[in-house]
Amino acid sequence: MEIILASKSPRRKELLSTIVNDFKIIESTFDESSIKINNPKKLVKALAQGKCEKVFNETTGVRCVIGADSIVVVNNKVLGKPKTEEKAKEMLRLISGTKHQVLTGMCIKYTFDNELVSQLSFVCSSTVYFKKLDEKEIEEYVNSKEPLDKAGAYAIQGLAGKFVEKINGSFHNIVGLPVAQLYSVLKQENII
């Protein structure tokens, strides 16, 4: 069975390689702005499904497509990827000194033959406790450019690791792919 990761994220690629030796990457061109859902868990699940289904429908043969999307939620406000440095600073001010959730929606769509298609989705949640940041720390971190393509404007596995006081849940989920949960599902479904 061909396994396809519907993501261009280098972090997801690296994490999936800890589970699966041989897989292909096809970036999903799914329009994320087409999803208008206020519930964060339903939103992140719908985004992962949209990415997964788009790539699944563009491919053929016996295959398993894995789609994922991550968001940060603080005080019921969803933080995606900041488009500007100013937006990154705003997000960092919001999560400074708080606890917030990182939600990753996962969608796995697969076929063992060209007739039978199965799909399953789940959401993994981790809680992150951030230290109180001063303006100098925010400024220096944003100047590193690291926050600009990260949900919530930070990378726990990068320079922002020093801002994290503790976490509850999966570290890999915060990076972008809940490895243990995904591994269990792929084993359970006899994909790996």
pLDDT for res 76:
87
* Contact assessment for residue 163 and residue 130, using Cβ atoms and an 8 Å cutoff: yes
Comparing CA positions, the residue from 22, 19, 26 lying closest to residue 2 is: 22
| Buried/exposed 169-185: b ≥16 CB within 10 Å, e otherwise | ebebbbbbbbbebbeeb
Report helix, strand or coil for 91: helix
The catalytic position among 22, 31, 69, 134 is 69
Residues of the chain with pLDDT under 50: none
| pLDDT tens digits for range 54-103 | 999 999 999 999 999 999 999 889 998 899 999 999 999 999 999 999 99
Fold exhibited by the domain 2-188: Maf protein (3.90.950)
What values do phi and psi take at 123, rounded to 5?
-125, 130
Comparing CA positions, the residue from 49, 52, 66 lying closest to residue 4 is: 66
* Domain chopping of the chain, boundaries: 2-188
Does residue 69 carry a catalytic annotation?
A: yes
Comparing CA positions, the residue from 182, 66, 52, 62 lying closest to residue 124 is: 182
Q: What's this model's pTM, rounded to 2 decimal places?
A: 0.91
Its sign, for the CA torsion 89, 94, 100, 102, is negative
d(CA 106, CA 172): 13
Comparing CA positions, the residue from 68, 72, 77 lying closest to residue 46 is: 68
Percent of the chain with pLDDT over 90: 88
